[in-house]
């Protein structure tokens, strides 16, 4: 339905939206330095708009879009060395990926405890509340990764799942997934890898010859891996995927769906848009593994540049970066974050580690870092950090 350009009410509403939008921080400005989301790749934007009306909750209405979803899942299966038995469940992001994984683990094991590192994302607190699961925390080593010897003591008769993090929210660290996998295989325990951030980073760091552990289905004890296209997949919000070692497991989280065209539906959501799926597939198809490799190489170059500039100011890092995430030690994270925000720059605060988090996403350049450094220096001097 076309509206004449002279429809004043229509144009007025758009104007109103624009006014609200102007209050937002934008990725395009380069001033959001703390988020794990990015300015989507241009092809994601185009694809998203074209698929706005699609509903993958009723896939027989859009067999073409469903075929795109299947191809995207096949791409991820190759990327993560998934066996032929594997499948993928599209989700809205890391939170839903974790919820779905724990739902599977609970259904398959009929047990109730989730053993997870102290660095796990807060979505697990939602899981505890939603599903009545008990969280059993494992301490971290001095390198901020899960301490496997403590993990051994926490696995027991009630363990439904062990969770490992491949790219932690706070520092981008990677738990020792191969060792955890071995332990879970021995104990016959479901092992979920939360690679919401690292899933589109670690495969390419490994290709670039960086010393990072394996984290995917090559580790035989890994049951599920979640990874987000709206983070380092360089695509549009909301999209993540939970990759599942055995497609037969999905049956345990499937219900009858009598009034839509497909008779059964797996997972949490009903109606869900095909637009972010088309966008994520378009980016994956366009960049391919070589394109992602170049993206990760460039993000790491900017990260190391930022690290040099920041330490050059006399500030220090919580730990050397494993991936494109920097934790910069400060005594008063909230004060620093507030002052930077007042000057138009957004970084995240991590009170638990007394640091601010900077994430060098694909749209962050060395020029942006050069603009940011003097602001950070002045701010730190002003609030007594330097």
Ligand X SMILES: Cc1ncc(COP(=O)(O)O)c(C=O)c1O
User: For binding to ligand X (CB under 6 A), which residues are involved?
Assistant: 36, 93-95, 98, 121, 123, 165, 167, 169, 194, 196-197, 228
As a whole number of Å, the CA-based R_g of the chain is: 22
CB of 100 to ligand X, least distance (A): 11
Quote the DSSP letter at residue 28: G
CB of 116 to ligand X, least distance (A): 11
Return the number of the residue (131 or 313) whose C-beta is nearest ligand X: 131
**What's the CA gap between 150 and 154, in Å, rounded?**
7
Return the number of the residue (179 or 228) whose C-beta is nearest ligand X: 228
Describe the crossing of helices 333-342 and 366-382 by its angle, rounded to 10 degrees. Answer: 120
Return the number of the residue (62 or 350) whose C-beta is nearest ligand X: 350
CA dihedral 165, 171, 172, 178 (to 10 degrees): -40
Under a CB-based contact definition with an 8 Å cutoff, are residues 40 and 279 in contact? yes
CB of 165 to ligand X, least distance (A): 6
Run of H or E residues at 114: strand 113-117
Return the number of the residue (155 or 171) whose C-beta is nearest ligand X: 171
CB of 139 to ligand X, least distance (A): 18
Run of H or E residues at 111: none
Written as six digits, the tokens of 157 are: 């008769």
Written as six digits, the tokens of 202 are: 């670690």
Return the number of the residue (62 or 133) whose C-beta is nearest ligand X: 133
Return the number of the residue (147 or 194) whose C-beta is nearest ligand X: 194
| Closest C-alpha among 204, 209, 241, 217 to residue 97 | 241
CB of 360 to ligand X, least distance (A): 15
CB of 13 to ligand X, least distance (A): 30
Return the number of the residue (235 or 379) whose C-beta is nearest ligand X: 235
Return the number of the residue (101 or 315) whose C-beta is nearest ligand X: 101
CB of 16 to ligand X, least distance (A): 28
CB of 54 to ligand X, least distance (A): 21
Residues near 344 by Cβ (< 8 Å), separated by ≥ 6? 25, 29, 31
CB of 178 to ligand X, least distance (A): 19
| Closest C-alpha among 327, 79, 364 to residue 227 | 79
Helix (H, G, I), strand (E, B) or coil at 167: coil
Return the number of the residue (204 or 309) whose C-beta is nearest ligand X: 204
Return the number of the residue (36 or 275) whose C-beta is nearest ligand X: 36
Helix (H, G, I), strand (E, B) or coil at 345: coil
**What's the CA gap between 209 and 52, in Å, rounded?**
39
- The helices-and-strands tally (H runs, E runs) of the chain is 11, 12
Query: 94-112 b/e with 16+ CB inside 10 Å = b?
Result: bbbbbbbbbbbbbebbebe
- Vertex 225: Cα angle to 327 and 44 (nearest 5): 75
Structure-token match 């730990």, residue found: 319
**What's the CA gap between 54 and 52, in Å, rounded?**
6
CB of 102 to ligand X, least distance (A): 12
């Amino acid at each position: 339905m076309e509206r004449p350009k002279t429809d004043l009410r229509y144009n007025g509403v758009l104007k109103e939206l624009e006014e609200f939008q102007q209050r937002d921080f934008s990725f395009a400005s380069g001033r959001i330095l703390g988020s794990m989301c990015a300015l989507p790749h241009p092809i994601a934007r185009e694809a998203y708009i074209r698929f706005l009306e699609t509903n993958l909750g009723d896939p027989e209405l859009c067999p073409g879009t469903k075929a795109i979803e299947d191809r995207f899942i096949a791409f991820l299966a190759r990327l993560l060395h998934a066996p032929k038995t594997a499948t993928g469940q599209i989700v809205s992001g890391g939170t839903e990926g974790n919820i779905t994984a724990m739902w599977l683990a609970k259904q398959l094991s009929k047990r109730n405890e989730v053993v997870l590192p102290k660095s796990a994302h807060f979505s697990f607190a939602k899981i505890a509340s939603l599903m009545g699961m008990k969280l059993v925390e494992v301490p971290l080593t001095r390198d901020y990764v899960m301490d496997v010897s403590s993990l051994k003591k926490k696995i027991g008769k009630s363990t439904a799942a062990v969770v490992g993090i491949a790219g932690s929210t706070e520092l981008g660290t990677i738990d020792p997934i191969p060792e955890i996998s071995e332990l879970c295989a021995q104990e016959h325990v479901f092992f979920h890898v939360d690679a919401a951030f690292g899933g589109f980073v670690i495969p390419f760091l490994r290709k670039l010859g960086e010393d990072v552990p394996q984290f995917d289905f090559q580790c035989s004890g890994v049951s599920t891996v979640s990874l987000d296209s709206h983070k380092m997949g360089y695509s549009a919000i909301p999209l993540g995927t939970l990759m599942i070692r055995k497609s037969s497991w999905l049956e345990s989280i499937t219900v009858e769906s009598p009034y839509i065209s497909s008779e059964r539906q797996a997972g949490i959501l009903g109606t869900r848009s095909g637009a972010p799926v088309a966008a994520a597939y378009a980016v994956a198809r366009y960049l391919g593994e070589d394109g992602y490799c170049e993206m990760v190489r460039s993000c790491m170059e900017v990260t190391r540049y930022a690290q040099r500039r920041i330490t050059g100011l006399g500030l220090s890092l919580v730990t050397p970066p494993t991936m494109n995430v920097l934790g910069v030690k400060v005594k008063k994270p909230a004060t620093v974050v507030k002052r930077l925000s007042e000057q138009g720059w957004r970084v995240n605060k991590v009170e638990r580690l007394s640091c601010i988090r900077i994430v060098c996403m694909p749209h962050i350049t060395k020029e942006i870092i050069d603009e940011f450094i003097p602001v950070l220096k002045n701010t730190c001097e002003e609030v007594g950090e330097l």
